[in-house]
Amino acid sequence: MSSGTLYDKVWELHRVAELPGGSTQLFVGLHLIHEVTSPQAFTALKEKGLKVRCPERTIATVDHIVPTASQDRPFSDPLAEEMLCTLEKNCATYGITLYGIGSGKQGIVHVIAPELGLTQPGMTVACGDSHTSTHGAFGAIAFGIGTSQVRDVLASQSLAMKKLKVRRIWVGGELKPGVYAKDLILHIIQKLGVKGGVGYAYEFAGPTIEALSMEERMTLCNMAIEGGARCGYVNPDSKTFDYLKGLPNSPKDKAWERGVAWWETLCSNKTAIFDDEVNFDANEIAPTVTWGITPGQGVGINDNLPTLESLDSRERDIAKEAYRYMELQPGMPIEGLEVNVCFIGSCTNGRLSDLQAAAKIAKGKHVAKGIKAFVVPGSEQVAKAAKQEGLDILFQKAGFEWREPGCSMCLAMNPDRLEGNQISASSSNRNFKGRQGSSSGRTLLMSPAMVAAAAIEGKVTDVRKMLAQQSKDSKK
Amino acid sequence: MRKETIPFPKGEIKAVFGHCLVLRGDDIDTDRIIPARFLKCVSFDKLGSNVFADDRKEMRGKHPFDHDLNRQASILVVNENFGCGSSREHAPQALMRWGIRALIGESFAEIFYGNCLALGIPCATASKEKISKLQTHITENPRNTFELNLMSQELFNKNHKCSIEIQAGTLEMLTTGRWDATSQLIARNDCLKEIASKLPYLNNFKGHQ
């Protein structure tokens, strides 16, 4: 059993009581809600005659269903409009802050909470969305919940949960140019499997992790759930504190100093005991692309797709199914595979640094003929900051569409979707069958820079070659 | 769509009766169980008929959820890591509204498992070998009905018996009717207040230097 880890410390601080059945009642420090998984929770609350216990500890935004081309109300999709109206009504009824469209603070829930300073070290963070693991980047214990649990958190500011084991994922070495946090997490999931993390919280540690920016750490923790781990986290450090300083909800003045002093005590002890430990070498990681129908089915850009014989016997059935669905053959190279649609955005890779990395590739180039490419900033704040740098113009000149913030084609609950068996190069997090809105649509997950490279070339491309060419050109 | 409707789980859950339905495959994610476009709703009421909508469309009537003999099934027998991916409770809600009242599998994704428990739907596990034998037996004897007995931890009828496992805590919650957590959570008002009064970030970090 783990002890002395950040996870253990935060768990202990929030432990309210032990419940019959071996669950723990855990206090929830920050509750985030959106339009998809909250309406039924509010209905259940009404049916039970309950109130929202701490309306000030719940923050709402709208992200999944918002169109990204035009956000004028009412939305052209009446179901989407009904969902937003319901959220607005519920938030007004119960006194919950809603960051709606045009507020300057709207965006994907896992983008806005960090940028507003709502997510802080040592908190428990819950949201009816599996990618809540993102917030672990700050040294919070953050996890996705179902709608019944959203109801429970609204009613009691707590939920019933079983304590997880803790696996430390130690990463040493250096991510080379053209290799990003996205490649690191795709590589980790490929090695540990999509169910390897079931029952675990992932602690990401080591020199490579310490060198990551906060936005990169968010990308990493965001996809812990794709490896089966309900939450992933990084111990807070000076980068965490620098990011938080001065944000609207960060503590101020003396409270800031006290806050930092407390946050520093939360880190896993040097003598901490983990239930499991795994090591990775970042030097070995290449830009990584998924070829299948689970996020664990990835390969390095220079590798060929695995033959069935080379796979563990337990992986073969799903690999066969993936080859059939994706219309790809074992042994073929991933580099050079033609794509139709290129999507840059999502809670995984829709932050400013993601757009900057993609813009670096797109600058002065043009999207290949016949390719639909679009950029969806993760929030209104990201959009504003990107525009200040002229990224919207840069992308548009390069033939990308520049959109309004939302979840967009990550899950296609809005007009952005694949058609027929189109293949997308996507900076999102899931390549499940049908995920991007077409029941035969195909998704290749990769970093935003790799998506930009695919858009320019019209096919899966090693972004390192383009970066090398750029640096050669700049020396001329 | 099934013709008869059985009531949703309520109170103490000690056994589930009915036909078993075999759905083979590892890593069946919640996007497959209920595609995202059906999440555009403010109630769960209409999800049942759209369970596995895309998989069923692709298989043109040959999906297990479309077999005539399966239409009365209440126990779903699956393989490994069932319910991975999105946290959407719409997935177990769709299964429940279609008629599923219990699942047996090699393993389940965590959020899905918790969502099922919150609805009073047991997710029982058994080894790969046992599941494989059970799936074969059900496929060969599709008309047989079974009893999933939580107390004795077995699935059986007069011809076949398979021991299954249910986590001790889950078992206690289901069989005592305390799987609906809300009332227990709100009952501990004093404890909640005490924890909140001690959390540094709710108290301006007082006492920390």
Helices A214-222 & A181-192, crossing angle to 10 degrees?
30
Omega before B9 within 30 of 0, i.e. cis? no
Gap between the Cα atoms of B149 and B120, Å rounded: 14
> What is residue B3's predicted lDDT score, i.e. its pLDDT?
46
Note the pLDDT of residue B5: 65
Residue A361 CA, chain-centre distance (Å), reads: 22
As for the ipTM of the complex, it is 0.94
Beta partners for residue B172, in sequence order: none
pLDDT exceeds cutoff 50 at A191: yes
Residues A465, A20: Cα–Cα separation, whole Å? 58
Return d(Cα A231, Cα A166) in angstroms, integer.
Answer: 10
Measure the CA–CA gap between A256 and A246, rounded to whole angstroms: 9
User: Which residue reads 């640094």 in tokens?
Assistant: A353
Place of tokens 């021991």: B163
Residue A21 has pLDDT above 90, yes or no: no
Tell me the CA distances in angstroms from A46 to A49, A129, A155, A199, B57, one per residue in order: 5, 22, 10, 33, 37
Q: Say if the Cβ atoms of A255 and B172 lie within 8 Å.
A: no
For residue range B181-197, list pLDDT tens digits in order: 899 999 999 999 999 99
**B86/A411 CB distance under 8 A:** yes
The CA distance from A242 to A223, in Å, is 24
Where helices occur in A169-327 by DSSP H, the ranges are: 181-192, 207-211, 214-222, 238-244, 253-266, 316-326
Provide, rounded to the nearest whole percent, the portion of chain A with pLDDT above 70: 100
Q: Kindly state whether A223 is in contact with chain B, defined as any CB-CB distance less than 8 angstroms.
A: no
Q: Which of residues A135 and A20 earns the better pLDDT score? A: A135
β-sheet with A276-281: strand ranges across: A231-234, A200-205, A165-172, A276-281
State pLDDT tens for residues A277-327.
Answer: 999 999 999 999 999 999 999 999 999 999 999 999 999 999 999 999 999
C-alpha to C-alpha distance for A472 and A462, rounded to whole angstroms: 16
* Per-residue confidence (pLDDT) for residue A435, from 0 to 100: 97
Would you call A64 and B57 a contact, using CB atoms and an 8 Å cutoff?
no
Q: How far apart are CA A341 and CA A359, in angstroms?
A: 17
Asked if residue B207 has pLDDT above 90, the reply is no
> 3-state class of A277 per DSSP?
strand
| Min Cα–Cα distance to chain B from A304, Å | 23
Q: Which domains are seen in chain B, by residue range?
A: 15-179 (3.20.19.10)
Which residue in the set B54, B118, B182 is minimally distant from A434, CB to CB? B54
| pLDDT beyond 70 at A473 | yes
Query: pLDDT-based confidence at B2, cuts 50/70/90?
Result: low
CB pairs under 8 A between A and B: 224
As a whole number of angstroms, the distance between CA A243 and CA A115 comes to 9
pLDDT mean over A387-400: 98
Segment A426-439 shows an average pLDDT of 97
b/e per residue, B73-109, with b = 16+ CB within 10 A? bbbbbbbbbbbbbbbbbbbbbbbbbbbbbbbbbbbbb
Whether chain B has a CB inside 8 Å of the CB on A439: the answer is yes
User: Side chain identity at A219, as an amino acid letter?
Assistant: T
Q: Cα dist. B28→A72, A312, B32, B81, B112 in Å?
A: 37, 18, 7, 7, 11
- CA-to-CA distance for A76 and A61, rounded, in angstroms? 19
In this structure, how many other beta carbons lie within 10 angstroms of the beta carbon of residue B153?
A: 14
Q: Which of A21, A156, A261 sits opposite B192 (nearest CB)?
A: A156
**Per-residue pLDDT averaged across A365-375, rounded?**
98
Average pLDDT, chain A: 97
Interface contact A210, partner B, CB < 8 A: no
Helix axes A147-156, A39-47, angle to 10 degrees: 60
Chain A nearest C-alpha distance from B13 (Å): 14
The average pLDDT across A364-376 equals: 98
Mean pLDDT throughout B105-113?
Answer: 97
Q: Is the CB of residue A323 less than 8 Å from the CB of residue A190?
A: no
Contact A155, A38 (CB under 8 A): no
CB contact under 8 A, B192 and A43: no
User: Model confidence over A446-466: pLDDT tens digits?
Assistant: 999 999 999 999 999 999 999
Give phi and psi for A180, each to the nearest 5: -120, 175
Dihedral sign for Cα B53, B54, B59, B60, please: positive
Name the band, by pLDDT with cuts 50, 70 and 90, for residue A344: very high
Q: How many residues does chain B have?
A: 209
Give CA torsion, residues A177, A178, A181, A184, to 10 deg: -90
Q: What integer is the mean pLDDT of B124-151? A: 96
Which residues from chain A sit within 8 angstroms of residue B81, using beta carbons? 194-195, 198, 228
Burial of A268 (0-12, 13-18, 19+ CB in 10 A): buried
Asked if A258 and B43 come within 8 Å (Cβ–Cβ), the reply is no
Looking at the DSSP assignment, which residues form a beta bridge with residue A402?
A375
Q: Do A17 and B182 touch (CB under 8 A)?
A: no
Residue B88: pLDDT band by 50, 70, 90 thresholds?
very high
| pLDDT in the model for residue A190 | 98
A475 confidence band (pLDDT: 50, 70, 90): confident
Record: contact A262-B57, CB cut-off 8 A: no
In chain A, what are the domains? 6-276 (3.30.499.10), 288-475 (3.30.499.10)
Nearest CA in chain A to B170: A21
Chain B 87-116, CB below 8 Å of chain A: which residues?
87-90, 92, 107, 109-111, 114-115
